[in-house]
Structure 1
Amino acid sequence: MNLLRLIARPMLAATFVMDGVDSVIRPEGHAEKFRKVVPALEQAGVPAALYADPKMLARVSGAVTAVSGLMLATGRRPRSAALTLALVNVPLTLLNNPVWAARGGEERKRYLSGLVRGASLGGGLLVAAADLAGKPSWGWRLANARKERAAARPVTARVKARYAD
């Protein structure tokens, strides 16, 4: 692992670990934010079972966020952890920054700032999810294996023909 990854991954993950732990320990504040968007979810036709217990949802979301953040920070499955955080980040950013519900210019400005901050973190997480750390991607590995097998077929056929007699 190079120095940049050693420093950047924990820096990116820190906010998610802190927020996740806070959500697990003190879910009330997080659940209250969630309760504000329940009417919108009902209108959208989201099944009630998905938002019936906001505290439990806050705890589960916090646990996923904290564990994924720790995985990213420590370099354990960092691509999967970053992708998980990016996927969790989208609804949480929208939930925490309801620009559409702003009642004034200052509140709208604050929500918009939070929305842009969340989008920036999401972009950083997507970059981290795409970071191959110098290793080739699975797509390249698969294509290379196919090419190698195709190149080996004529040789294999000649060897088989030679010793088949």
Structure 2
Amino acid sequence: MILRRIARPLLAAIFISGGVNALRNSQEHAKSAGPFLDKALGDRAEQLPDSVPTDAETLVKVDAAVKIGAGTLFALGRCPRLSAALLLGSLVPTTAAAHAFWEHEDEEARQQHLIHFLKNAGLAGGLLLAVADTEGKPSLGWRTRHAAHSAGKHVQTTQQRVQKNAQKKGKQVRKQGKRVGDEVSRYRP
């Protein structure tokens, strides 16, 4: 549908742009994300495996790569539901880290962060719609239920055919048995 071909790149553009900006200014973004990470991870950072990055700059770069990669896939219409889910997963912590309007004392700063928070909430709504969009095709759940129902009907039909054939063969065997019995009784002295 042409609407999706227009809407997806429009929605993806802010994520791709934000990801490129975060890669270019990863140290600056890491400073903003640092306090949020300290609150979110706290003492649990030491409990995580060594392979899981916990420093702000690495996490900013990973987040930027997700935004660029998933945003590009989404814009091109490749794996749109998965890429929208990845973008949504990236948007939530970014919004909480960068636009915590409730933490600002200055009314003007609070208002600016509230605007960005609400903008991101709107983007999240668009991404939720994209995650749920099956492009007019039945959902995986519906297809699974439909396949199970069809398989059940097929099994039931096959069972009925087998029973009919067994009954038919049973009648034939009984008839043949009766004929054999009649023949045997004719030859008895």
> So what's the TM-score if we normalise by structure 2?
0.79
CA distance in 2 between partners of 1:20 and 1:160 (Å): 63
User: Aligned residue for 1:27?
Assistant: 26
1:13-162 aligned within 5 A: 13-41=12-40, 45-48=43-46, 52-161=54-163, 162=165
Q: Aligned in 2, Cα 1:25/1:136: closer, same or farther, shift over 3 Å?
A: same
Q: Over residues 92-118 of structure 1, what are the superposed CA-to-partner deviations in whole Å (9 max), with x where a residue is unaligned?
A: 011111213212111111111111111
- Unmatched 5+ stretches in structure 2: 170-189
CA distance in 1 between partners of 2:117 and 2:141 (Å): 33
Q: After the TM superposition, which parts of structure 1 deviate over 6 Å for at least 4 consecutive aligned residues?
A: none
Q: Aligned in 2, Cα 1:152/1:39: closer, same or farther, shift over 3 Å?
A: closer
CA distance in 1 between partners of 2:15 and 2:28 (Å): 16
Query: Secondary structure of the residue that 2:105 maps to in structure 1?
Result: coil
CA distance in 1 between partners of 2:39 and 2:152 (Å): 55
Q: Over residues 22-70 of structure 1, what are the superposed CA-to-partner deviations in whole Å (9 max), with x where a residue is unaligned?
A: 2223211211111232442355x54256674211111111001110000
8 Å CA contact 1:38, 1:51 repeated in 2? no
Deviation at 1:160, TM superposition (A): 3.8
Count of residues in correspondence between the two structures: 163
Q: Aligned in 2, Cα 1:42/1:142: closer, same or farther, shift over 3 Å?
A: closer
8 Å CA contact 1:83, 1:126 repeated in 2? yes
- Unmatched 5+ stretches in structure 1: none
Decide which structure has the larger Cα Rg and report it: 2
> So what's the TM-score if we normalise by structure 1?
0.89
CA distance in 2 between partners of 1:7 and 1:66 (Å): 18
Query: Secondary structure of the residue that 1:135 maps to in structure 2?
Result: coil
CA distance in 2 between partners of 1:29 and 1:21 (Å): 13
Q: Which has the higher contact order (CA 8 A, sep 6+)?
A: 1
